[in-house]
Structure formats: structure tokens, C-alpha cells
Amino acid sequence: MKKIAVLTSGGDAPGMNAAVRAVVRKAIFEGIEVAGIYNGYQGLIDGKIELLQLGSVGDIIQRGGTMLRSARSVDFRTPEGRDKAVEQLKAHGIEAIVVIGGDGSFQGAFELTKLGIPCVGVPATIDNDIKGTDFTIGFDTALNTVIDAIDKIRDTASSHERTFIVEVMGRDAGDLALWAGLAGGAETILIPEEKYDVPAIIERLKSGSGRGKKHSIIIVAEGVMPAVELADLLKREADIDTRISVLGHIQRGGSPSARDRVIASQFGARAVEVLKEGRGGVAVGLRNNGIVEYELKDVVEDKNEWKSEMYKLSIELSI
Ligand code: ATP
């Protein structure tokens, strides 16, 4: 392996930069040239490719976002687009790629591997929804951003004896809402993986205020329903007044947490080791506190298995 490339794809996540840095530095340490592909798979098709040096990734470990920028590419979903991508790689003498992104990006990496370009996936998404790894890069930072917001909302909620609905990101994945709800002491958590029951939510709010609770926090993942819709529902069904807070894109930004920087560094370095051995079609991750590898094929074919124990715990602790 003489020359590899690295790209970031899909939604950006804090810690992607730390992963890029690790890939570049580890590759150079191993005597492998490394190119940066800008704007994800679209940039690959368009030839936005540049050789990176040690200094190219200096002063980025602490920065959110991604210096390689990210994109969602429609062209890459087509066989013609992927053929163009392979041509670009051949023209630049690139033998293999590290793809940093979420499950969609891993599907792209799987397709590229099938075309003879070994790819290794590095899981980076605030959704934490990739089968094969306990944690994805960016989840910890986003979680801490949400908890910081909940703590602040809690201050004002208790001063004014109010019920707040906080909408967090997660179209199909409830990890961010669930972990934030558990760590933030929310009374009710609504996530796509679990059915919700409006009368039960109302009952819980009423029994809380009945025993003198000064405030309530409801966390809703965006994929369940918008916060404003839930607020209307509670007003209509039980005349409960609420305030809403939609956290939006602040959840994706900010300086990565120490944990995200560390796993990004570990994942990036392991990805280079895999490619150095001439292997591809795998992703790296963290399981039971150890760095592991798993097949891209398995991620693409199966959804992340949902672990309901934590949801049960959140209900037990918010009685
Ligand atoms: P996030 O979890 O943050 O949304 P993601 O990696 O899942 O990140 P996607 O938009 O789903 O984000 O995927 C990123 C890119 O990967 C897409 O824009 C597309 O170029 C490529 N991609 C996704 N699915 C496929 C596929 N089936 N075949 C080829 N390329 C794909």
C-alpha cells in the first residue's frame, strides 16, 4: 500500500477532524502517502483531491466540523457516478480509502469495495446508530451539548413551574434522546424505537404535579414528532401548557469532547493498519472498551439492534 485517501461524508460530527488527523499522521508514520478528498463522495467524483502532509492536519484536533468538508452525493448512488469515482482514484494513484461517516457513507464504502477499492469505515455520526460499534464519533459531544441545554432549561422550568418539551435530533435513532433524557433526568422520553402513549404521558405529568413537582422535562426525538405538535396535543387533550425548545444544529457543532477525540484517534489509526494489511470492506469501532473490526456488509444489511434496557431504566427512574 503506497497511497491511500481519506474523506468525510454524510452529516458532520464533532471529532471527524480528530479522525482525519489520526488517519493522516498514522499513514505518514507507516510510510504511506495520504490524500484528502474534499466534499465527500461528490468531491471524489469531481476530483477534489489533494495530497496531505503532517502540517495539513495541525491545529484541528480540537475543532468541530470537518476540514475536508462533507456532502451528500446523489451521483455516487448511481453506478455511473461510482465508475467516475474509481477512474479518479486510479488517475491519482490511490489504492484504498478511509471513509469517515454514518451508515449511508458505509453503504457507499461497501459499493466501492465491491468495485475493487478496499475501503475502511470509521463511524462518525451524532446518532450513534451503527451496528457493530457501541459508540460513534460525535455522539458524546452532542450528548453533552444536549445535557448542557437541558440543565439550563431546567433552571428556568423550575423557576416558573413549567413543563418543557425539548426536541433533539434523531430521525430514526433514539440514542441521543434516550441518553440525554437519562442523564438530564427527564420525566418522559419519546424515541422512534418505542411506542408512546399520550394518556400515559398526561397521567405522568399530572401525578408529578400532584406530588408537588415544580417542573417537568419531556425529551422528544425529531423522528417521533415535532415538539410543537406534542405541545398542541397536550394542550388539546389535557389543557396542559408547555414551552418548547428545539435544539437543532447546535447539536452537531462545537469542540469535540475528550472521549470523542480519543476514540477518533484510535479508530483512525486502526483504519490505516487495516488498509496497510491490504484488507478492506470492514469498519472499525468500539465494543466493551476495546477497538474492534466488523464487516461493512453486516452494517449495510442490518439495522442497529435496539437495546431496550436503558429505556426501561429511564422509565423506572422517572416515576
Ligand atoms: P448521517 O448518519 O449523519 O446521516 P450518513 O453517512 O448516514 O450520515 P447519508 O446521507 O445517508 O449520511 O450518506 C452519505 C452519502 O453516502 C450519500 O450522500 C451518498 O453519496 C452515499 N451513499 C449512501 N447510501 C448509498 C448507497 N446505497 N450506495 C452508494 N452510495 C451511498
Q: Is the dihedral of CA 174, 69, 82, 109 positive or negative?
A: negative
Segment 165-208, tens digit of pLDDT: 999 999 999 999 999 999 999 999 999 999 999 999 999 888 88
Q: What angle do CA 22, 145, 243 make, to 5 degrees?
A: 155
How many CA atoms are closer than 13 Å to the CA of 164, on its beta-carbon side?
Answer: 27
Within 10 A of 319 (CB to CB), how many other CB atoms are there?
8
If one compares 72 and 3, the residue with the highest pLDDT of the two is: 3
Q: What is the pLDDT of residue 212?
A: 77
Domains of the chain, each with CATH number or no CATH: 3-138+256-301 (3.40.50.450), 142-252 (3.40.50.460)
Measured CA angle at 216 (ends 210, 220), to 5 deg: 135
Express each pLDDT in 102-125 by its tens digit: 999 999 999 999 999 999 999 999
Give the closest residue to 218 by CA, choosing from 210, 310, 200, 262.
200
Q: What is the pLDDT of residues 254-298, one digit of tens each?
A: 999 999 999 999 999 999 999 999 999 999 999 999 999 999 999
Top pLDDT among 43 and 302 is at 43
Q: What is the DSSP letter of 250?
A: G
Mutate to test the pocket of ligand 1, among 69, 74, 80, 107 (most ligand atoms within 8 A of CB): 107
Residues that are catalytic:
127
Q: Report the half-sphere exposure of 248 (CA within 13 A, side-chain side).
A: 3
User: pLDDT tier at 304 (50, 70, 90 boundaries)?
Assistant: low
Pairing assessment for the beta strands 242-246 and 163-168 based on DSSP bridges = parallel
Element at 210 (helix H, strand E): helix 198-210
Cβ–ligand 1 contact at 102 (below 6 Å)? yes
What percent of the chain clears pLDDT 90, i.e. is strictly above it?
88
Spatial contact of 65 and 100, defined as CB atoms under 8 Å apart: no
pLDDT, position 134: 95
Percent of the chain's residues with pLDDT above 70: 99
Tell me, what amino acid is at 191? I
Measured in angstroms, how far is the CA atom of residue 305 from the centroid of ligand 1?
19
**What confidence score (pLDDT) does residue 213 get?**
76
| Amino acid 211: pLDDT | 80
DSSP state of 107: H
Distance 128 CA to ligand 1 centre (A): 15
Alpha carbon of 281 to ligand 1 centroid (Å) = 16
Neighbouring CB atoms inside 10 A of 158's CB total 14
pLDDT tens digit sequence for 127-160:
999 999 999 999 999 999 999 999 999 888 877 7
Euclidean distance between CA atoms 51 and 21, whole angstroms? 13
User: Which SS3 state, helix, strand or coil, does residue 315 take?
Assistant: helix
Name the residue with cell 422550568: 157
Confidence class for position 303, pLDDT limits 50, 70, 90: low
The residue among 55 and 162 whose pLDDT is bigger is 55
